[in-house]
């Protein structure tokens, strides 16, 4: 997937991520930019959860949104 397409995808998905995990600050969302590892780490930090718990949350979110994080 090309960068322009990925960037557009994140702009669309960013709002849904913010709605799902409101504790994530906006600057954190800018840093995540479709990177699964970054989202996982940010969730762990913001919510005080384990890596496994964060991955389960991301998988559930992906199923709900019918999407997959790019990296």
- Residue ranges of the domains in the chain? 3-65
Domain spanning 3-65, CATH class:
mainly alpha
Residue for token pair 């919510």: 47
Q: How many other β-carbons are positioned within 10 Å of the β-carbon of residue 19? A: 8
From the number of C-beta atoms within 10 Å of its C-beta (0-12, 13-18, 19+), residue 64 rates as: exposed
Query: Which mean pLDDT values do the consecutive 10-residue runs of the chain (71 residues) have?
Result: 61 88 91 88 96 94 75 49
Query: Among 43, 49, 20, which residue's Cα sits nearest to residue 31?
Result: 43
**pTM score of the predicted model:** 0.80
């Amino acid at each position: 997937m090309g960068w322009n397409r990925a960037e557009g995808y994140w702009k669309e998905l960013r709002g849904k991520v913010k709605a799902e995990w409101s504790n994530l600050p906006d600057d954190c969302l800018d840093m995540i930019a479709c990177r699964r590892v970054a989202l996982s780490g940010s969730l762990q930090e913001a919510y005080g959860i384990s890596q496994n718990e964060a991955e389960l949350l991301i998988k559930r979110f992906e199923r709900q949104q019918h999407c997959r994080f790019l990296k």
